[in-house]
Every structure is written in structure tokens, then in C-alpha cells.
Structure 1
Amino acid sequence: MAGPKWEDLQKDCLVNILTRVGTESLLYDIPFVCKSWYRASLDPSCWKIINFQELPLADEYLKLIINRSQGNATSVMLPTSCPDEVLRYLADKCPALKALYLPSVMGINRSFVLPEVISKWKNLELLKIGRPCIHNMERILQEISLHCKNFCHLEIDNIPIIQAEEASAIVTFLPNIRYLHLRHGVIDQKSLKIILQGCKKLVHLDVRDSLLFECDDQLLELASHIANFQHVVSEPSCVDYNRCPALKALYLLPEMVDYSLLLLPKLISKWKNLELVHLNVRGSLCFECDDLLLKLASHVTNFQYSDSIQYKYENGLLHMELKCR
């Protein structure tokens, strides 16, 4: 006697199962099993968590998927190439959103659109932003403090620079923050102290593998109220140039340029044989080339400032070679 068939499973049970599979499976696998599974995959409950970050989809298709949630989406992970229009559409169609994840390398203009739409997410609890949003972080946090009363979790990803200005913004606008992730960042001792002294309700602070601060006894005392303070460097730093005193050529990727402006003055004096610094700078990011040149000139013997730089713009990156001679 044949047993029960999967396609005969009650819809409520099937929907409950499908809420546990990923967005990719809901799009490319489940609908093609059978008609009953396809119908179940259209239930709004299946689309409460939407992950676009690994799906190369056209803008209109993104909107179609957002519509499937019928306003019930509570967690959305946006793709790298998400235009302003889609972000605004998400804000209009998904007012119940509780968690929003922006990709680390999202275009810098998204950081200016985000404050305009945050007011529509009254239930927002978690926000993950990338390096580009650092340039507009104060306005983003201000909007959160005004409109998102349940907000408790902030993650800043992709090697940002957290200085006193950014640290003060966190303390001013999110004094009751409970979860703060600044891993793989660049944060100095002063800025970290500002956060520890101002955010007294922190239960989780992650600054692992971050640069420019030393976790001494005073810092540990300031962090004593935090149940889970993670600060250990668990892997070699990607900018641990101090181990290479004979360095002659230094090549920096786009995501390394910002914090290199802080680190280079501390390290250049050790590189007596330095001949070339090559930078790849994203055209969308602010970059003070003259500032870096002056810092190099102050440490490298016979550094030529006037004709030492060569530019080449290619594939959205400004390639710069600074020749030390």
C-alpha cells in the first residue's frame, strides 16, 4: 500500500517547512517540485526573511519578490547593486521590517538615501551597514534615534574607520544600544573609550581584529559592565606591514586606503628602502591625496613631491603610483 505523498501534505504544514528554507531555494527549487509546493511558496509567511545578497536579480524582479511578502517581511539582506528606487520601494512595502542588512561594498550614494526612508521602519531593531555609510553615519543614527524606539543592534562592516566623531555619534544617538559589532575595523583608544563610557547598556561589543587600540587594564575596567566583550586579535592583521622592514613597494586595495591614511605615518619611518606606493581608490569615495603625499614626504628620504604621482582611471578605480626617490 502506497504511503502519503508529499504533494498531499496540508498547506499549513508545508508553509511552515518552507519558511525555513532560503530565498534561493524558494525561487529556483521549491516552485518546480509540484503545483501544491508552488502555491505554498507564494504564501507571504515564506517571505518574512529575504536574502538578496547572493542573487543577481534585475530591479523589477527584486520588487516582485518584495511584493510576495505582502508587507510581512521582517528581515531583508539587500544586494550590492540595489538602486535608490528599490530601497525606497522596500520602505514603502515592508513597514514591519525589524532587520536590514546592507552589503559592505554598497554604493556610497545608498548612505544618503537610507536616512530618508528609516522613518518608515518603526520596528527596526537591527541595522548592518558597510564602509560607505560611515560618511553619513551621524544622520543615519539620528534618524534611528527619532523613529526606531526598539533599535538595539548595530553592525558596521568592511574595515571602517571609527574616530571620535563616529564614536560620539553612536553615544549621542544610541546610548541604549545593546549589541555593537565593529570587528575588522580601525578604532583608536580614545574613540573606543568614548563608546565604553557612553553606552552603559551594552551586553555585547565585538572589536576583534581591529586596529589602533591596545586593550590595557584601563580599557578592560571600562568594559567590565559588558557581558560579552570580544577584543582578541584572532588572526594576523591584513595590514601588519611592521614585519617587513625591507619593504620596497606597497600596493593598497580600495578597501584599505581609508585606514592606511591613519596607519602609514606610524609605519613609513621603518621602511628605509621604500620606492613605490600604489593605491587603488574607488572614485565614489572621498580621498585626500595631498594629505597622503605630505605624510609620505615627511618620512621617506628624498621623497619628490612635485612629479612623483601618476594617475590612471580604469574600471571605476583611480590607480595612483607614488614614486619615492
Structure 2
Amino acid sequence: MVGEGSDDEAMRCWDDLVPDALAVILGKVGLEEKLSVVPRVCKLWRRAVAGPMCWQEVDIEEWCHRSHPEQVERMVKMLVSRGGAALCNLSVSRLQDDAIFAFIVQHGGGSLRTLKLPVSEVSDAVVEEMASKLSSLTTLDISYCSKMGCKALEAIGRNCKSLVGLSRNMNPIGWEAHTGNDEEAMAIATTMPRLKHLEMFYGQLTETGLRAIYAGCQELEHLDVRGCHNLRIGGAVTDRRPGLRVLGPLIPNCYDSYLEDDCSDDYDSSSIYSEDGELDEEWDGVDEWDEGWDGVEMRVYLAAHNPDHDFGWPASP
């Protein structure tokens, strides 16, 4: 039991902490508290939370989904600036232009190991320009980034030699209009030989592209091709090497899952409407689209499955 003077002793204990150690401890605090509460405790904590060691990991992906683009840009710039060369893992979403992506890479790209920026308006051109500064990347999520394509993937693959995880999932709405296209699959197959985990949910790849990935990514352990309607059951999906787990291509209740993933309780449902209150074109006819998936089943093709590497996927039937 600590007696009288315990408050002073406790304060001295905090004062005696190595600044970096204090920053690591405070880095575990939630984002809101770290921004609004911690700086008000004392000068020592305010200095610590303003330094880079407190911002090695930044995850505001869900917050970005609920916030206006202007707020997202300001928050991303502030947190990336604080993390600087210490920033290792960054998860954001809905980046509105190439400029904010360039800002991230210029201020924290050299140390980034994990970068997640789904649903972002980032182009091939800026990725090609900045990819050389992302050489430390091991995990990348560019799902639903419609302005990126094979050129961005090729630039990432050629410059990020340590990349082991890639998520390149796409929007299921309008899937029936997609024709086969193996450009992205070929870019992955020829430049990312160390991949272990690859997601191409609703990709346009064909049997040719899938076989190229099998051949080029020899270390691949998990492949998600659910919703890739150009792949055939019993085709290249089953022609995989032992030790590779493939999920897809069929998927059950895909529309329900899509909405469940993208719409949280606090999601603003008005976001599916345009500024004049009219329903966005991409949501027109959604009931008709949904009916086409009634009764669809999912099949999992598994070779030498290791239960320790499930990545949260549903169990095999």
C-alpha cells in the first residue's frame, strides 16, 4: 500500500519515464482521447502525444466512411504529419484526389509497412510516380479504387519487393456488365512473387489470369476470388498447387453481405443519394439485380488446409 505522498511519487514516476516509452504507452489510447483528452492532462503528456512515436499506427478507416471529404483530408494530413518517419501502419478510406495520396507518401511513405486506402479516388499516374517511396510496404489494400488499374499494380509490384498481402476487391454492383480482363492479374503475377494473401473479390480475371497468378505467385497461401464470374467451377480454380487455399468463385447472399460490410449502424443512408435528393444511378434497379442471385451457393476449394490460417473466412462446407 502506498502511503502519504503517493500522488507526488506517481507524478515523479511519470516524469522519470523515457519520453519514447511514454509515447508508446499513450499510443495505445483511443484516437478521440488521444486528440482531445491526453493533451490536457499535463505538459509532459501533451509533448508526448504531439510527437511521432505516439502515431506509429493510425486507423481511421471507419471514421473516414462517416465523415465529409474535407474533414477526412484535414485529419489525414494532421495524423500523417505527426507520425512522419515513425508511421508504420495507416488505414484510411475515401481519399478524394491524388494530392492527399502524394502527401501521405511524401511524409510517411518510407516507413509504411501497411497501407489501406479503399474507396479512394487515387489514379494510376500518382501511384506510378510515388511507388518508389513505398519500398517498405508489406500489406496494401486498394479495394474499390476505380481509378487504379494494372499500371498502378505493376508500379507497386516493381517497387514494393516485400509485399505479401494485397486486397484488390471491387464493387459487385454492375458485375454483369464486366467482361473478362486479365491485365491486373498479369501485373500481379509478373511483379509480386512474394504474395501470400491475395483478395480479388469481384475481379474481372479469367482462367488465363488465374493460372498466371498460380505460376507467378509461388508463395501464395490464400486466394479470394469470390464473385469473379469469369471463372468456372471445375476450371483453373481447382487446378492449384497443394497448400493453397482458394475461396470462390461463387458467393451466397452477395448483396446482403455487401450492404452489411459497407453500412454500419451510424452510416449516413443519405449517402446513396445525389445532392438533389435523387437516387444515384448506380442504385437504380437494385431489386432486379438482387433477384438474379437467389439460390446461389458458395464452394470452397481447399488443398492441405491449415486451420491456423483462416483469416476470418467462413469454414469450409
Shorter-chain TM-score tier? 0.5 to 0.7
Query: Normalized against structure 1, the TM-score is what?
Result: 0.63
Selected match of 1:154 from 166, 191, 201: 166
Cα distance in 1 for residues equivalent to 2:252 and 2:40: 44
Aligned residue number for residue 154 of structure 2:
142
Cα distance in 1 for residues equivalent to 2:124 and 2:36: 31
Selected match of 2:187 from 147, 161, 169: 169
1:237 aligns with 2:249: no
Q: Does the 8 Å contact 1:200/1:225 carry over to 2?
A: no
Please report how far the alpha carbon of residue 171 of structure 1 lies from its aligned counterpart in structure 2 after TM superposition.
1.0
Cα distance in 2 for residues equivalent to 1:34 and 1:206: 48
1:50 aligns with 2:58: yes
1:100 aligns with 2:100: no
Cα distance in 1 for residues equivalent to 2:82 and 2:283: 46
Q: Does the 8 Å contact 1:197/1:222 carry over to 2?
A: no
Correspondence list, 1:102-117, <5 A: 102-103=117-118, 105-107=119-121, 109-117=122-130
Selected match of 1:87 from 54, 79, 101: 101
Which AA in structure 1 matches 2:105? A
Please report how far the alpha carbon of residue 140 of structure 1 lies from its aligned counterpart in structure 2 after TM superposition.
1.1
Pair 1:81–1:219, CA change in 2 (3 A): closer
Pair 1:165–1:79, CA change in 2 (3 A): closer
Which AA in structure 1 matches 2:99? E
What SS does structure 1 have at the residue aligned with 2:254?
A: coil
What SS does structure 1 have at the residue aligned with 2:193?
A: coil
Aligned residue number for residue 222 of structure 1:
240
Selected match of 1:127 from 124, 131, 140: 140
Pair 1:111–1:131, CA change in 2 (3 A): farther
Cα distance in 2 for residues equivalent to 1:60 and 1:321: 33
Which AA in structure 2 matches 1:176? R
Which ranges of structure 1 fall in alignment gaps of 5 or more residues?
241-254, 256-280, 284-312
Pair 1:12–1:147, CA change in 2 (3 A): closer
Pair 1:188–1:60, CA change in 2 (3 A): same
Give the greater-gyration-radius structure (CA).
Answer: 1
Q: Does the 8 Å contact 1:22/1:51 carry over to 2?
A: no
1:203 aligns with 2:225: no
Pair 1:239–1:164, CA change in 2 (3 A): farther
Which ranges of structure 2 fall in alignment gaps of 5 or more residues?
173-177, 263-271, 286-317
Larger strand proportion of the pair? 1
**CA-to-partner distance for each residue in 1:128-149, whole Å, 9 max, x for gaps?**
102234x542111221233222
Pair 1:137–1:13, CA change in 2 (3 A): same
Q: Does the 8 Å contact 2:224/2:248 carry over to 1?
A: yes
Q: Does the 8 Å contact 1:122/1:147 carry over to 2?
A: yes
1:41 aligns with 2:58: no
Please report how far the alpha carbon of residue 211 of structure 1 lies from its aligned counterpart in structure 2 after TM superposition.
4.3
Selected match of 2:211 from 166, 169, 193: 193
Q: Does the 8 Å contact 1:164/1:191 carry over to 2?
A: yes
Pair 1:130–1:205, CA change in 2 (3 A): same
What SS does structure 2 have at the residue aligned with 1:144?
A: helix
Q: Does the 8 Å contact 1:49/1:76 carry over to 2?
A: yes
Q: Does the 8 Å contact 2:157/2:188 carry over to 1?
A: no
Pair 1:215–1:38, CA change in 2 (3 A): farther
Pair 1:231–1:317, CA change in 2 (3 A): closer
Aligned residue number for residue 295 of structure 1:
none
Cα distance in 1 for residues equivalent to 2:278 and 2:89: 33
Please report how far the alpha carbon of residue 164 of structure 1 lies from its aligned counterpart in structure 2 after TM superposition.
2.2
Query: Normalized against structure 2, the TM-score is what?
Result: 0.64
Which AA in structure 2 matches 1:220? T
What SS does structure 2 have at the residue aligned with 1:159?
A: coil
**CA-to-partner distance for each residue in 1:187-217, whole Å, 9 max, x for gaps?**
5444333322332221222334654534438
What SS does structure 2 have at the residue aligned with 1:76?
A: strand
Identity of aligned residues (%): 23
